[in-house]
Structure 1
Amino acid sequence: MRGVIERLSDEGLGILKAGRKEILVPHTAPGDEVEILKTRRKKRKVIASEFKLIRPSNLRTEPLCPYFGLCGGCLLQHIPYEEQVRWKTEKLSRHLNQNVEVLPSPKIFGHRNRIDVVISTSGIGFRRYGTWWDAVDIATCPVFGETSSRVLKSLREFMEDFNLSRYDIRKNEGFLRYIVIREGKFTGELMVNLVTKEGKLPEEFPDYFPYATSVYWSVNKTESDVSYGDIERFWGQEFIREKLGDVVYLIHPNSFFQTNSYQAVNLVRKVSELVDGERVLDLYSGVGTFGVYLAKRGFKVEGVEINPFAVEMAKKNARLNNVEATFKVGRDRDIRNLSNYDTVIVDPPRAGLHPKLIQKILKDGPKTIVYVSCNPKTLARDVEKLAKDYRLEFALGLDMFPHTPHVEAITLLKRFEI
């Protein structure tokens, strides 16, 4: 069938109306005329797996990346950046039912501080869009920056010299699985983490990356397609550092950190501006991204995080920055006495807040909640549940992920005066 793309779905796919049904078409823009050749079903959605672009929309622009349309990473590079921001503004405003500004990313290429490059029998790069087994072979990644081409060149030289096998996910065979590249954008420090199946790694491996601050070898002993594993060995520094404003953070292969350092500076700054009072509870505190930053500004911070390793990293970050902050292991649903805090910061996973935590917030009634979210849908759901006792006073979007459909949001909720 043939038709014109009307708009983008929340997932960044073009929507083509087919009678009462909708066909989702990746890598298209509103106004594109397309011919659908083949479709596939994903849950209850129909997605075009093959199509022809008959007549391009005036909205389209030339993507910078040569792998656009093949790689599953950047879905929106064919749309001008200002239009991406406008679309994210509309999406976030619609979910929160009010006008919300979205702050553009300070950089739209070279902004990512981490990429997870799959090493497979089909290529060294990123998963091909719409597949879990195939990979698009790449030489560089523009959203990470020039260092990616240097690391991938060194990797290929190492593999060629030692004739090491690549992993076949469908057969669970092969040795090399992933190479994860992480960079401190404000420090220039570089980490290379090679993830393999169980086996023997040639001892010359680190010699191929003399420019890296930290080189790791991790082993994934499972069949799961994940880009981390048990640390087998490292060379150079145990951590690399990143800096957000006047706060330094340690980064380890198995720790999470915001992937856009340039926008993360605006994120922590805005959160600190919204905090009210002196006593702060930082829920889902991770490695202390918010907690340490706030402690540096004199707030009394307690952080709670379910991941014990992340808690240890948060404690290291507090010591590194010479600040007083308490971090402990705990579950969101088990938190007690929220009324002891002036402000509660929540930055949950995409699934949003646990229902028991929402009940505790409504029961204990902390005056101020700063809710940070990467999922507008679950954010809107939780804000609606809290609306019984809380008023949404402020909302701001931050584009942490240029060329993707994702957008970060910060909201401020204040308890109604009784």
Structure 2
Amino acid sequence: MASESPSASASASPSPVPGSAEIRRAPKVLLHDHLDGGLRPATVAELARETGYGALPETDPDRLGAWFREAADSGSLERYLETFSHTVGVLQTREALVRVAAECAEDLAADGVVYAEVRFAPELHLERGLTLEQVVEAVNEGFREGERRARETGHRIRVGALLTAMRHAARALEIAELANRYRDLGVVGFDIAGAEAGHPPTRHLDAFEYLKRENNHFTIHAGEAFGLPSIWQALQWCGADRLGHGVRIIDDIQVHDDQSVKLGRLAAYVRDKRVPLEMCPSSNLQTGAADSYDEHPIGLLRRLHFRVTVNTDNRLMSGTSMSREFEHLVGTFSYTLDDMQWFTVNAMKSAFIPFDERLAMINEVIKPGYAALKSEWLFRDSAR
């Protein structure tokens, strides 16, 4: 694949700082997005009426969307996770899962996302009698339908599913086996999620050992609310392919007054081994993992050439999209189209699909897309 050097996409021509229109049109890759965190507020309200779910704090879609964002903006991961009781509450039927998955693919495609891995926990959708298999099949059906609808509107997207096990529960091996059964049928990997404190990934070693024996892929939520021990365990005990968030790796990096930088051994290992970091800036601000976009570790980690990727986490709770995430980063760090391409290629390299398919997406979709945007900017600039 192409070099990860920041200059890999650079040429003799200047790279523009993109505006909102260019950011939205730019091809983007999303690795960390939760299905139950990305519903449209209107869909939540409609599904609540249809399924008889009566616990919503608001029924008007606009007020409901605002409630989700405000409730999640607490600075606490545990409080942030509480908002999911409502979205999970309306996702207990096959029809609801198909609808939400299809809308997810449509919304991402309309935002310029060309490849996405969307995760969900099958064990959370069994309250009305669905089996684990029926949950997976409904979500996969929805993704395929959403891809079809996107093509009809001129957008291209491919969505893969990540099956998530809840770290506080005891079904990780069962979900890992489920992910392996649906491998090549829409499921591309496995994940564990939930509150980190008190629930180390090492509780689920049997699941990770199983996946490694099956040569399957997995990511682990680590280094978000909990620190370096969570990252170390995810990598060294569990063997994670990627780190979900991983933002606390910054705790192993010293920046001196003269701006020189010293990496601790864990940070150096993460960088040397090119471990992908699934960074979610807006979500990190809400959960207290970072205080502001200016102070978010993504700026330093990008400068130090860690394999950083940009993600949404929960689009409903954060009121965000991939375009909004990049708008924040462009506004904060003056990132150019070359920087956006660097983040996007990083993400595509780190996806859980075969190498040749990743390479084709980079060379046939991502690079041409950015080249076209840059050429348009150069044409406009020369015409001024």
TM-score by length of 1: 0.29
> Greater strand percent: which structure?
1
Larger radius of gyration: 1
Of the two structures, which has the highest relative contact order with CA contacts closer than 8 Å and spacing of 6 or more? 2
> Greater helix percent: which structure?
2
TM-score by length of 2: 0.31
